[in-house]
Structure formats: C-alpha cells, structure tokens
Structure 1
Amino acid sequence: MVDTMALLLPFGRASRTPRTVEHPAAGLPADDEVLLDAPDDRLGPALVAAGRGAYEAAAELLAATRRTAQWEYRDGYALRLAAFAHSRPEWLEAWCAAAPHDPDALLVKAQLAVDRAWRSPARAELLREVSPLITAAARADDRDPVPWRIALDHARGSRAGHTYFGELWEAAVRRAPLHYGCHVAALRYLASSWQGSHRECFDFADRAAQDAPADSLLQALPTRAALACLTDGCGPGVPPERLQAAVDRAIGLSSRFPAADLWPAAIRNKLAYVLVRLGRWEDALEQLRLIGPYATSFPWGRFSDDPLGSFLDVRDEVRLRTAAATPRGARPGHPRSGRAGRVHSGDD
C-alpha cells in the first residue's frame, strides 16, 4: 500500500527542523502537530491521485463543486491543483488531452498559465498571451465565477485600465455577488492601481462587508485591506479605528466557526497576523487557539522563506506576551522574521 502521508508531504512544505514543544497551558497544539497548507478531506485524495499521474479524482472533485455551485471551494481547489501542476504537470496534460473542452480542466489550465506568467520577468507580455485560456474557461460554464476571479488577477498583472476592470468586475458579481475570491482579487487590483493608497480599498471592503450576511466570508474583507495597509506601508490616510473595526468584524465571523476547523483557517491566520501587528495579544492568542494545527503560507510566507517557522515563532511570542500580561496599550508588535520578504501572485 502506498503511504498516503508520504505522498502528501510536499504539500505541507514544512521547511523547519521538527521540534516538540508543548503549550497545554495556552491551549495550543504542540509545534510538531502544526500542519502547513493542509488539504481538506476532499482535496487530499485528489492531490494524492495527481501525484500518481491520475486526474480522475481532481476531475470528479471540481465537477462536484460546479454541479452544486460551491464556488468558494471550487476557487480554492483550483488554486491548489494548479499549484501542484506547476511542478507535476503530467496529470493535467493527460486530463486536457482526454477532455479538451472540460470546464474543470480548462479552469485549472487557465489558473496554471496565469501562475506561470506571473513568475516570469516578462509578466505583462506573457499574461496577454494567456487571455484566450481564461476566455475558454469562462465560456465553458457561464455560471462559474472562478474564471472571472482569474480574469481579475490577470487584469492586475497586465495593468489593465479601470474601464476594462469594471467590465470584468460586473461580470463576476453578476454570477456570484458574494464570492469572496472575486472580492479579494478586486481589492488587490485596486490596491495596485492606486499605488499604495488604501483608503479607497477600505471603502470598497467595508461596503462589501456591510452588504453581506453576518456569516459571509466577506465579513473578513476589511481585515484583508488592513493587512495590505500594514504590510505595504500605507502611510497616513487610514485612521487606526478603521483597522480596529476591521479586525472586530473578522473576529465576529471567526466565532461562527468551530475551533480547529480547516475551512476558516486561511481567514483566521490573516486575522491573527493583523491582531499581532495591532498589539492585541489576547485576541491574537484566541485566534491561534481557534486555528489549532492549521497554519497557512500566507501571510507568514510573505516575509520569510520558512512560513511554518514564522507562524510558530509568532505563536511563541504571543504566548509569552499574554503570559507576561503585557498591557493592552503596549507598542504594537511585528511578527518576527530574519529574512527578506517575498511577494506572490497567489496569496490567499
């Protein structure tokens, strides 16, 4: 029998030497129990099968998300499958050869093409060349908003104008008005086109959250704007109370999910990062408890080649700060990292 965990190890990207450090008093799992970018119970088998060169499990998974209109899951699965195909493309090539018009194969193919172009110094030129792949994915199933999220990312990378972006945005929200992935893509485009001016990004994120149900992932969008503000050096223009209101909104959303739940892990990791930057240590510790063993590369990998190590270091810092009863008004901290930052097109 093939060792499933051995096949899944590349997806964990754990780059630090394992250590066993227990944190029972803080309610945190031991360091060696923490996983990086763990796939869920549906994605894991598809990745294992792809590692063997078989595409059928991935095809069934994405077809199910399309059939049931699970667009958020579909978006996340497409990103993860494309990332795997970047280094192991054989299964995707076989899938595209066997079913060249399959909407799910076309979706992963388009995502992979954008990811590859983004990594190139000739990004803008290469992105223009992959436009037909995005168009093909969008036409394959007119209900699907995920190709439009890819198109919004493409517009940012190719420096498309606001008129064209607006047309893409209208097409995306017409298909799924509350799709978190499309909203994040739009937010990142706006931050890029405004060259670091984040007040407008906050306005966009706040409007989206205010118009969304209390249990919608869009309640976390202002925290995403806050993260960009804090990491990109927004300077003046964003009052501190807007940052605080953003994380309060996301804390409310986080409380609606069970502890140690893989589905909200990405949102909770970003929220924990922002809370640390704001010096809200007790709140950060609570989110780390809710995260449990599920660390994510973003945001921890943005400033380090060792995202798991960064996550564990920040967890140690938060635990020590709260144990020492640091006053709430203490100087805001910054997640520790001894390495230069990195920027990725596929950040969550």
Structure 2
Amino acid sequence: MALLPPFIRGSRTPASRSARNVAPHTAAGLPADDEVLLDAPDDRLGPALVAAGRDEYDAAAELLAGTRVRDEWEHRDGYVVRLASFAHARPDWFERWRADAPRDPDVLLVAAQLAVHRAWRSPARTELLREVSPLVTAAAQAHVPDPVPWRIALDHARGSRAGHKYFSELWEAAVRRSPHHYGCHVAALRYLAASWHGATRECFDFADRAAQDAPGDSLVQALPLQAAFAYLTDGCGPDVPRERLDAAADRALALSARLPVSDPWPAEIRNVLAYVLKRLRRLDEALDQLRQLGPYATSFPWDQLSDDPLGHFLAVRDRIRRGAPAAPEWAARGDHGGRGPCEDH
C-alpha cells in the first residue's frame, strides 16, 4: 500500500471525410475518423444502458450485482460512473429502481455517485457536496467490503475541501478494502494535487510508490502516467526530470501490453498514454497505442483540453499519424496558462 504524504470528467459528430482524407488513416492501421466512437460501453455495460434507455433497470441491477458478488471492483467503479452519468440525463429508470429497492447496495452506490456528480457541476459545489454526505455514508455501509463508495468519498472530500487528516482516514479505509484499487488511487492523487497545488514531486512520489507496490497487471501501474499528464497540462510546480516522465510512460506501456487490444475497457489509459507519448516526442510509440485503441476514444483526457473531446482526439491523432513535431520544448507546459506554448491546443 502506498502511503500518502503526511497531511498535518460534449462529443461531436465528426464531419464526413472524403476517401482522400480517410485513406492515410487506413494505411497507418487506424480506423477512419467517422468510425471512431467516444466513450463506447463494453459488451457488459452496453445492454444495461440500452435497457435504461427504455426505462428498464433490471439489466443495470444484474450487472452491478454481478460485480459486487465477484469482487470486480475496477469494473464496478467504471460501470457506476457511467450509469450515474446516464441517470443524470435520463433519471426515470433509476428513480423506478430506487423506489422498488431503496436499500439495495447497488442502488445506494449509484445514488451516491449521482449526487456527487450533480453537486460537482454546481457553482455551489462545496456546500452541496456537504449536504449529500449521508448518501455517501449509506453507500459505504451497505456493502462493507466494497472500495467504490470510498472512491466516491475521496472525490467528495476533495470537492468539499476536507482537511488532510479526514482525507487520510478515508484513504486508509479505502485501501483496507482493496489495496490496489485504481479509482481510489486516482482520487488520492487528485486530492494531493489540488490540496498542495504545485506539489509535483510529492504527486510523482506517491504514484511511483503505489505502482511499485502493485501487481504488474494492476491498473495502478498507470498512476505515474496520470501524474505525468497532470504535470504536462498544469503548468504549476517545479520541473520534473525528463527521465521521470519517460519512466512513467514506460510503466504504462508495459501495462498496455498486458491489456486486450481494441477494447473499450483499457481505452482511457491508452488515450492518456498516447497524449503523454506525443508530448514526449515518442511518436512511433504514440502511434502504436492509437493502433491498439482501435475505434475507442474516451472523454478523458481530451475534455481537460477542449470543449470538443472527440474533435480534439481526432486532431491530435492526425498529428501523431503525420509525425508532426511536439511542443517546442519537451517540458513545455501551459495547456491552461502554463510556462510554454503547446501546439495541441
């Protein structure tokens, strides 16, 4: 278990392309622009979303119950986020489920994620997040072994500006349930970055320790990559040696090699990895990750860089394919007002 340092997420429809513009992507082993999907569900989540679109909740209930019984915490976490997001836009199916099974641990989990999601988008975020604390607590108490409510609690604590001591207590409770749960680690990394703005080395230290402690096939191997992405897009804090950024990318490449190719499940990690590799001018490796992605783009990280995540992904993908130069300096940051220009934005 990695110890925290002492503390005392709109798609667009791509324009039609002529055969002349599509052919280079095909020759590079990439799908054409109009074949790329944003946030496509996997084969398990897809039917649940389709049923929810018909205001039916049985498929979602079965899906989450299965992840809970089989301790599939990483999948459970991802599915809960997607189902809560769908419920935010189309709430009727979820309200029916909630009325029929108000104490079901899966209902309580989606309800907590939905409440935090809604509050997070409000200008009164801090106050609203404090009001939904009982929902997060109820989800955590409903199924004690489940680490996912604790990931939600960690996100909630960051948004409500909880103190370091309280956050550390939440973190310890989370890792007791699942020492290498990726979602909890990402939440902790983001809290650390937000609380100690500019604490670049502390973020990398935490991420590196967590990855070193985790099995080789754990998604936590991608945590240093998340730290590298934050560094390259933040423009705050001391410079990080090039070697450390390369090491984060190398670790994520090793993880990517263990994951299924052209599959929605690991797509987000490969989207982040392609971006970081491009910024490091490792264009051949970035192109290889795009090939392994297949048609699967994800909102993150591109929604952190543009209001049009799919369009931004396609533009960066095209630059990688064409071998366009990266930023003028490898460490040029400032996607949001940092030290140097970035030609991606």
What TM-score do the two structures reach when normalised by structure 2? 0.90
1:210-229 equivalence runs, <5 A: 210-229=212-231
Gaps of 5+ in 1: 1-11, 338-348
Q: Is 1:145 matched up with 2:143?
A: no
Aligned to 1:170: 172
Query: Which of 336, 342, 346 is matched with 2:344 structurally?
Result: 336
- Whether contact under 8 Å (1:198, 1:238) holds in the other structure is yes
How far off is 1:329 after superposition?
Answer: 11
Aligned to 1:13: 11
Pairwise CA distance, 1:212: 0.9
Contact 2:14 2:34 (C-alpha < 8 Å) held by counterparts:
no
Structure 1 residue runs of 4 or more that deviate by more than 4 Å after TM superposition:
328-331
Aligned residue in 1 for 2:336 = none
Contact in 2 for aligned 1:273/1:335 (Cα 8 Å): no
C-alpha distance in 1 between matches for 2:308 and 2:171? 35
Which residue of the other structure, out of 111, 114, 118, is the alignment partner of 1:112? 114
CA shift, 1:236, in A, is: 2.0
What letter corresponds to residue 49 of structure 1 in structure 2?
A
Is 1:58 matched up with 2:60? yes
Displacement after TM superposition at 1:24 (Å): 2.5
1:331 Cα offset (Å) = 4.3
- 1:107-256 correspondence runs (5 A): 107-256=109-258
Matching residue of 1:34: 36
Amino acid across the alignment from 1:240: R
The secondary structure found in structure 2 opposite 1:255 is helix
Query: Superposition pairs for residues 252-271 of structure 1, below 5 Å?
Result: 252-271=254-273
5 Å matches for 1:265-344? Answer: 265-321=267-323, 331-332=329-330, 334=342, 336-337=344-345
Q: Which residue is equivalent to 2:338?
A: none
Q: Percent identity, aligned pairs only? A: 71
Question: Which residues of 2 match residues 63-102 of structure 1 at below 5 A?
Answer: 63-102=65-104
Alignment partners' CA distance in 2, 1:69 and 1:106: 17
Contact 1:279–1:330 (CA<8 Å) still a contact in 2?
no
**Quick one: distance in 2 between partners of 1:96 and 1:174?**
29
In the alignment, the residues of structure 1 paired with residue 177 and residue 17 of structure 2 have an alpha-carbon distance, to the nearest angstrom, of 46
**More RCO (CA 8 Å, sep 6+):** 2
Question: Any conservation in 2 of the 1:148–1:171 contact (CA below 8 Å)?
Answer: yes
Which digits, 9 at most, give the CA deviation of each residue in 1:227-273, with x for residues without a partner? Answer: 01111113424222111110011011111123212221110000111
CA contact (8 A) 1:75 1:146 kept: yes
> How far does residue 196 in structure 1 lie from its aligned partner after superposition?
2.5
**How far apart are 1:166 and its partner, in Å?**
0.6
Q: Aligned residue for 1:8?
A: none
1:17 Cα offset (Å): 2.4
1:260 partner SS = coil
How far apart are residue 75 of structure 1 and its match? Answer: 0.2
Distance 1:269 1:136, change over 3 A: same
Equivalent residues of 2:197, 2:237 under 8 A apart = no
User: Match for 1:249: what amino acid?
Assistant: R
CA RMSD of aligned residues (A): 1.7
Cα deviation code 1:291-311 (max 9, x no counterpart): 111100111121222111111
Q: Which amino acid aligns with 1:108?
A: V
Consecutive unaligned residues of structure 2, counting only runs of 5 or more, are 1-9, 333-341
Give the AA of the match of 2:344.
Answer: R
Distance 1:82 1:275, change over 3 A: same
Measured after TM superposition, the shift of residue 19 of structure 1 is: 2.9
CA contact (8 A) 1:276 1:335 kept: no
> What is the alpha-carbon distance in structure 2 between the residues aligned to residue 233 and residue 178 of structure 1?
29
Q: Deviations over 1:179-225 (max 9, x none)?
A: 00000000000000001321101000000000111111111100000
1:301 and 1:210 mapped to 2: Cα distance? 29
